[in-house]
């Protein structure tokens, strides 16, 4: 006995010896030989078995990755599978006569189905990680490209996916842990049956390739079946411990086999039922759980109104419940409608079924934020119009939400049906807007969807006719508003033709229709929201057709600008759109000042895109949450209702230029000058700070360059910058009758350039000839005379008109540039002196209050001393007043001397 076990018992020594032997066995099992060959026995496998085993192990890996949706590893395993199949091609072509193994085709079909399922799940795809999403696209492309070579095999497999082939029986998938190739795989085989088959087949096919001297190959056929099974079982395990472990997959395999047997039995029953039909037609077998369509009525049932209504109630009672097939529900309702029409159960029952079909179609799309499918949209339009035609053709049918279920009447006239066609058409209109928002606005799909607006408006017209016949004022106001919202933003050329007398005065235009609908809402509406939206739409429509005075008066009388901040977001968006269009209308009607006032609130924020609900500006990460962004996207306007933002900005900047440049010239040396347009002023100042300014390229640069030319009085350069080929294409051609707008712009530029010229150079001239000014600015002489007269009356220009000589005599009251700068300097020095004196007085006051003067005197003495020195604020104000009076006296003397000199000159000339 070893000395390590000297103090222990016999049992302890035996157990320790066994542990030592076990560890030695594990270490040396790789290179020890045994005469009995019980632990290690050599097995010869054919090339086919090796290749097939490699393929099945990779297939099992792919299935495991698919279960947990590990797409990157699925892609890697698929690439390995294609390489392994390429290596196995010689064996397949030799052994299988070039026929692709069925288990390989099954794997490709399952992989294709998996990819299609993940790809069609849009919501799930959005939640995928970046790596999974990228790998999914790569895997989809590779699989679609790879399975083109197996299209015939895949089509045959999909026709009979449950059929088993001999190749699948021959394959024995082996794993490192001795398990099956997969849980749900059809490649799997039972260990007691498939292993002996493979063992018998392998030596016959591998024998020619082996040497004749090999004892293993010679004695292979002489082994009994039991020996083969035991040898296979022994070679499945790496060591003795794994051999005697309990297998946990037997029960799972049995359960899987039972489930497969049940599926096969179910599908066999369906096939037999199809064969037993009288017509003998084939029935499509659906993969997965088969939902049988319930029978509508018994064969011998007497179909009448109560039975149909009871069946309708039964179908609709499943609405909203879990596991309700919504598509089947719609099909059942259509079938019930056909049965009702066949048995002539009455129009009221048909209307009721129509309304429930509409509700079922709306329920099909569970997510309200997403648009419905196009097939359901087309079906909805058809059913809605059919129901409304029935209602209009049968005046004795009353369909209203106020009808209780127990008061419904379907047998005797008048018929009462519970339902609200107004709510249905409002939902229809909302779904149409969602469909437009979902489409790309620059694609043909958007145009095709926009064509549906004709059918939507027709449906609204049908509902309007029904409620005009039998409806409350509130319901009529709601449907009128829906029609207004489809009409207010559309331009009608007949309106302008009617103004010019090109069409008869009795012609009904969109303005007349809008006026009728809006006036009814103004008189009958009980809610503020409908009236407010109707007013805003009415103003927008007037502004669209250049009815400036009607639109302006309606804005001023309604006082909407006072309480619009308390309205809902949709109404505020409509208000912003109305103000933008009103500004464009004022600009077209030569009211530049009003145009600027209408657009300034929109443009000064720098966010007209968001205020008009035409898109979202990119913001920082935490400024807008995902939920807030989703809500704001739902408020966006469809693309065909957008207002051109570049046109809006150009009109605003040009209006600001026409107002700001003359004002700057008139108050050049005024320190308290205000800014008319902050945005335009910033653009002008940023351009002046640039050291090198090139030719203008963008719209803003054109306006700034035009402003600089106007400051010098050069109207031709200013007009060339504003009205040119590039600006016409981008901006001015978007106006109706663009030539008239360009002429109006040129005229305004001439007039404001003339005013700027007079403000800038009036101190240089003694007198100016009016005809020369008219020739310089290509304006009529009466127009120049009128402009100068207005400037003199408004005290903007210190001058007088001499009508006989047609000249403007300057009074030279405006100081020159040097005089103005000197006066500014004097004012600033005076202010500086006053500030210093105030600071000094404050310090002196604190000094005397602290009592640091000692016994030199009290506050009265100090005050007297200060008064003697003349440092009190009252004395300073008096000195400043005297100084200003003296300065004004000298100035008045100079003015009188100048006037006397002018009178002497005129007398000499006469």
Encode pLDDT of 552-594 as tens digits. Answer: 999 999 988 888 988 999 999 999 999 999 999 999 998 999 9
Cis-peptide into 414, omega within 30 deg: yes
Average the pLDDT over 733-747 and give the result: 89
- Tell me 809's DSSP state: E
Closest CA to 353 of 335, 367, 374: 335
Confidence of residue 280 (pLDDT cuts 50, 70, 90): very low
Q: Does the pLDDT at position 23 exceed 50?
A: no
The average pLDDT across 414-435 equals: 91
Does the pLDDT of residue 52 top 80, yes or no?
yes
Q: How many CB atoms lie within 10 A of CB 16?
A: 14
Closest CA to 158 of 105, 204, 89, 196: 105
The residue written with tokens 């804005």 in the block is 555
pLDDT at residue 185 is higher than 60? no
- pLDDT top residue among 870 and 465: 465
Quick one: CA dihedral 468, 471, 473, 475, positive or negative? negative
Sign (positive/negative) of CA torsion 841, 842, 848, 853?
A: negative
What confidence score (pLDDT) does residue 875 get? 52
Q: Which two tokens stand for residue 82?
A: 């294609």
Bridge partner residues of 807 (DSSP): 769, 802
Region 48-73 average pLDDT: 87
For residue range 240-260, what is the model confidence (pLDDT) as tens digits?
Answer: 555 555 554 554 555 666 666
Provide the percentage of residues in the chain whose pLDDT is more than 90: 25
At a CB cut-off of 8 Å and minimum separation 6, what does 149 contact? none
CA distance 70 to 161: 25
Identify the CA nearest to 52 among candidates 207, 161, 221, 181.
181
The answer to whether residue 608 scores a pLDDT higher than 80 is: yes
Structure tokens at 382: 């058809």
The percentage of the chain sitting over the pLDDT mark of 70, rounded to a whole number, equals: 71
Q: What is the pLDDT of residue 883?
A: 60
Take residue 83 and report the two structure tokens written for it. 């390489």
Sign for the CA dihedral angle at 640, 646, 649, 650 comes to negative
The CB density around residue 130, as the number of other CB atoms within 10 Å, is 7
- HSE-CB of 334 using CA atoms within 13 angstroms: 12
User: d(Cα 823, Cα 816) in Å, to the nearest integer?
Assistant: 11
Distance CA 745, CA 587 (A): 9
531-545, 729-743, 814-828: lowest mean pLDDT where? 814-828
User: Residue 903 has which token pair?
Assistant: 């009178």
Which pLDDT band, with edges at 50, 70 and 90, does 433 fall under?
A: very high
Residue labelled with tokens 């010896």: 17
For residue 879, the model assigns a pLDDT of 58
Q: Among 300, 372, 370, which Cα is nearest to 330's?
A: 372
Both tokens of 250, joined, read 């037997």
- pLDDT (0 to 100) of residue 549: 93
| pLDDT, position 656 | 92
The average pLDDT across 757-771 equals: 87
Would you place residue 366 in the very low, low, confident or very high pLDDT band (cuts 50, 70, 90)?
A: confident
User: 842: pLDDT confidence band, cut at 50, 70 and 90?
Assistant: confident
400 membership: H or E segment, kind and range: strand 397-400
H helices, E strands: number in the chain = 41, 5
Q: Is residue 206's pLDDT more than 90?
A: no
């Amino acid at each position: 006995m070893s000395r390590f076990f000297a103090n222990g018992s016999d049992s302890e020594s035996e157990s320790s010896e066994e542990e030592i032997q076990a560890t030695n066995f594990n270490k040396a099992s790789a290179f020890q030989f045994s005469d009995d060959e019980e632990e290690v026995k050599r097995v010869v496998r054919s090339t086919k078995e090796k290749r097939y085993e490699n393929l099945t192990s990779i297939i099992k890996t792919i299935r495991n990755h698919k279960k947990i949706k590990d797409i990157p590893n699925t892609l890697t395993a698929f690439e390995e599978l294609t390489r392994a199949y390429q290596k196995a091609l010689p064996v397949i072509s030799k052994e299988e006569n070039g026929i692709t193994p069925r288990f390989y085709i099954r794997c490709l079909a399952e992989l294709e189905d998996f990819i299609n399922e993940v790809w069609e799940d849009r919501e799930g795809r959005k939640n995928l990680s970046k790596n999974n999403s990228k790998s999914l696209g790569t895997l989809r492309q590779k699989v679609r490209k790879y399975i083109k070579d197996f299209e015939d095999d895949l089509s045959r497999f999909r026709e009979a996916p449950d059929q088993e082939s001999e190749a699948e029986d021959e394959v024995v998938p082996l794993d490192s842990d001795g398990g099956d190739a997969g849980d749900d795989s059809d490649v799997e085989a039972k260990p007691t049956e498939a292993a002996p088959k493979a063992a018998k087949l392998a030596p016959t096919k591998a024998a020619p390739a082996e040497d004749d001297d090999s004892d293993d190959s010679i004695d292979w056929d002489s082994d009994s079946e039991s020996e083969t099974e035991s040898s296979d079982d022994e070679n499945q395990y790496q060591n003795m411990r794994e051999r005697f472990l309990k297998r946990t997959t037997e029960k799972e395999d049995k359960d899987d086999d039972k489930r497969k047997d049940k599926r096969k039995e179910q599908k066999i029953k369906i096939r037999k039922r199809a064969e037993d039909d009288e017509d003998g037609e084939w029935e499509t077998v659906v993969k997965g759980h088969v939902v049988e369509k319930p029978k509508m009525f018994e064969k011998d049932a007497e179909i009448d109104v109560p039975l149909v209504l009871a069946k309708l109630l039964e179908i609709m009672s499943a609405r909203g419940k879990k596991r309700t097939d919504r598509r089947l529900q719609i099909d059942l309702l259509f079938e019930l409608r056909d049965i009702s029409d066949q048995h002539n159960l009455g129009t009221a029952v048909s209307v009721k079924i129509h309304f429930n079909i509409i509700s079922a179609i709306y329920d099909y799309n569970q997510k309200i934020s997403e648009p419905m499918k196009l097939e359901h949209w087309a079906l909805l339009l058809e059913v809605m119009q059919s129901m409304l035609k029935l209602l209009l053709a049968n005046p004795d049918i009353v369909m209203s939400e106020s009808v209780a279920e127990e008061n419904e009447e379907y047998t005797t006239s008048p018929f009462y049906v519970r339902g609200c066609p107004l709510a249905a058409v409002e939902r229809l209109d909302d779904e149409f807007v969602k469909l437009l928002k979902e489409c790309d606005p620059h694609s043909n799909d958007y145009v095709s969807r926009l064509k549906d607006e004709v059918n939507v408006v027709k449906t609204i017209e049908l509902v309007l006719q029904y409620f005009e016949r039998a409806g409350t004022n509130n319901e009529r106001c709601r449907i009128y508003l829906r029609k207004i919202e489809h009409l207010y933003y559309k331009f009608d050329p007949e309106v302008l033709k009617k103004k010019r007398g090109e069409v008869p005065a009795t012609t009904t235009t969109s303005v007349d229709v809008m006026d009728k609908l809006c006036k009814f809402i103004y008189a009958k509406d009980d809610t503020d929201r409908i009236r407010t939206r109707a007013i805003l739409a009415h103003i927008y429509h007037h502004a669209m057709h250049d009815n400036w005075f009607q639109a302006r008066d309606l804005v001023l009388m309604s006082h909407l600008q006072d309480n619009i901040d308390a309205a809902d977001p949709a109404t505020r968006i409509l208000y912003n759109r109305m103000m933008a269009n009103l500004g464009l209308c004022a600009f077209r009607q030569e009211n530049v000042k009003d145009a600027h006032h209408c657009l300034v609130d929109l443009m000064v924020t720098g966010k007209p895109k968001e205020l008009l609900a035409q898109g979202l500006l990119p913001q920082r990460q935490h400024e807008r949450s995902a939920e807030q962004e989703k809500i704001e996207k739902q408020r966006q306007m469809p693309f065909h209702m957008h207002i051109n933002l570049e046109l809006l900005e150009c009109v605003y900047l040009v209006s600001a230029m026409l107002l700001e440049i003359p004002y700057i010239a008139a108050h050049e040396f005024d320190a308290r000058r205000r800014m008319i347009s902050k945005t335009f002023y910033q653009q002008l100042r940023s351009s002046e700070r640039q050291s090198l300014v090139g030719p203008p390229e963008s719209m803003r640069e054109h306006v700034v360059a035009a402003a600089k030319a106007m400051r010098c009085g050069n109207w031709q350069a200013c007009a060339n910058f504003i009205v040119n080929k590039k600006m016409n294409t981008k901006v001015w051609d978007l106006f109706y009758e663009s030539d008239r707008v360009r002429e109006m712009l040129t005229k305004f530029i001439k007039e404001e350039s003339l005013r700027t010229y007079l403000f800038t150079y009036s101190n240089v001239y003694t007198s100016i000839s009016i005809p020369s000014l008219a020739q310089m600015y290509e304006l009529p002489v009466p127009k120049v005379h009128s402009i100068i007269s207005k400037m003199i009356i408004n005290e903007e220009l210190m001058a007088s008109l001499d009508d006989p000589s047609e000249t403007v005599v300057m009074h030279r009251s405006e100081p020159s540039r040097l005089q103005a700068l000197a006066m500014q300097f004097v004012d600033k020095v005076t202010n500086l002196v006053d500030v210093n004196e105030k600071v000094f007085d404050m310090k002196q006051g604190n000094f005397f209050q602290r009592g640091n003067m000692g016994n030199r005197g009290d506050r009265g003495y100090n005050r007297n001393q200060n008064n003697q020195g003349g440092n009190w604020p009252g004395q300073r104000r008096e000195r400043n007043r005297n100084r200003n009076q003296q300065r004004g006296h000298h100035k008045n003397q100079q003015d009188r001397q100048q006037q006397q000199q002018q009178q002497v000159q005129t007398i000499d000339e006469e």
